[in-house]
Structure 1
Amino acid sequence: MDKPYKIPESVLVVIHTADLDVLLIERADKAGYWQSVTGSKDREDEPLRQTAVREVFEETGIGVAEEGMPWAENPDAVPSHHLRDWRLSNIYEIYPVWRHRYAPGVVKNTEHVFGLLVPRGIAVTLSPREHVDHVWLPYREAADRCFSPSNAEAILQLPRHLHD
C-alpha cells in the first residue's frame, strides 16, 4: 500500500531549559541540518497540541504528561503545563527536496510554534531513523545553527514566551 501524503500542517516545538538553553537535533537525511522538533499532523483532526506531544516523544524520547498519552503516568514525563502554545504560525514554502511527501501541487506548509520547558539534564533518546545527534546551546547560538529561518526566528522569540 502506498504511504499517505503528509498533511501540510505541522508543529515546531522549541525545547528549552529555564536558563534558555535550547535542544537542537541533527537530521539523519541531511547532515549539518540542525533543528528543533518538527512534525506534521497524523490526521486532519489531530489537535495541534497532541501533534506536539507525539512528535516530541517520537523524536527525543521526552514524554509530556498529557492525558491520554501512553507515557502520561511516567514519573520522568514533563508536566503538561510546561508545553505552551505560543500562538504563532508560519506559512512557508516546502523545500523542493521534501515536496514528494505531499500531495501533488502542495508547496506550502503551515507551522504552529510551541515551547516546552524541561529540566536541565533531561535524557534525550533520538529516533535514529530521523536524527543522528543532539546538542544543547544558549538560545542565540541555537538560532544561528538552525537551517530553517522560521525555526531560528522562533528560538529568538524564546525569552518573551518564557513566562506565557
Structure 2
Amino acid sequence: MHKIPESVLVVIHTPALEVLLIERADKPGFWQSVTGSLDAPDEPLLATARRELFEETGIVADGEIIALHDWHLSNIYEIYPVWRHRYAPGVTHNTEHVFGVCVPRDTPIILSPREHLQYAWLPYMAAADRCFSSSNAEAILQLPQRM
C-alpha cells in the first residue's frame, strides 16, 4: 500500500506562541510539527489532522476547548528521496495542508515511540529555526498573524 501524496501539517501552539516540536525516530535530529498523510483519498482533511494530532501527541481535538483551525494554506513540495519509496513509483511531490491548534501549555503529550523520540516546547521563532522542513518553519512564522 502506497502513501497518498497529500498530507496535513498541524502547528501546535500555546496562547503565548510557544510551539510544540517533535523529533522523528526514523531521522534523529529532524524536528517538526505533527504531519501525516491521508489514509484514504476521500478522508476529509480535518479528520486527517484530528487523527494525526492524536496519534502523534495524544492530544484530542474536541472542537470546543481544543479546536483545529484550517489555515486554508497549502504547500507543494518535493518528497525527500529517502522517503520516496513509501509512495507509488514516479510520485515526487506532496501537497501539504496546514492546520493550527492552540492548547494550554500544561497539556499532557504522549508520543508514539515508534514515530518520535522526544518533544520540546519552544518560542515560535526558535521552533521555526529548529524545523528541518522549510514549509513547516514558514507556517510557524505565520503564527502571530493567525492568532
Is TM (by shorter chain) over 0.5? yes
The one-letter amino acid of 1:79's match is I
Q: Where does 1:54-133 land on structure 2 (aligned, <5 Å)?
A: 54-66=51-63, 79=65, 82-133=67-118
Matched, 1:21 2:30: no
The one-letter amino acid of 1:32's match is G
Give the CA deviation at 1:65: 1.2
Which residue of structure 1 lines up, in the alignment, with residue 8 of structure 2?
11
1:65 is paired with a residue of what secondary structure?
coil
Residues matched between the structures, number: 147
Give the CA deviation at 1:79: 2.8
2:138 is paired with a residue of what secondary structure?
helix
Identity %: 71
The one-letter amino acid of 1:85's match is D
Residue deviations 1:105-145 (CA, integer Å, cap 9, x gap) = 00000000000010111000000000000000000000000
Q: Which runs of 4+ in 1 moved over 2 A?
A: none
The one-letter amino acid of 1:143's match is A
The counterpart of 1:31, out of the listed 5, 10, 28, is 28
The one-letter amino acid of 1:150's match is S
Matched, 1:140 2:137: no
Residue deviations 1:5-35 (CA, integer Å, cap 9, x gap) = 0000000000000010000000000010000
The counterpart of 1:155, out of the listed 130, 137, 140, is 140
2:106 is paired with a residue of what secondary structure?
coil
Bigger Cα Rg: 1
Task: For 1:129 and 1:85, locate their aligned partners in 2 and report how far apart those are by CA, in whole Å.
Answer: 27
Task: For 2:97 and 2:69, locate their aligned partners in 1 and report how far apart those are by CA, in whole Å.
Answer: 11
Residue deviations 1:46-81 (CA, integer Å, cap 9, x gap) = 000000000000000111115xxxxxxxxxxx635x
The one-letter amino acid of 2:16's match is D
1:64 is paired with a residue of what secondary structure?
coil
TM-score (norm 1): 0.88
Task: For 2:79 and 2:58, locate their aligned partners in 1 and report how far apart those are by CA, in whole Å.
Answer: 26
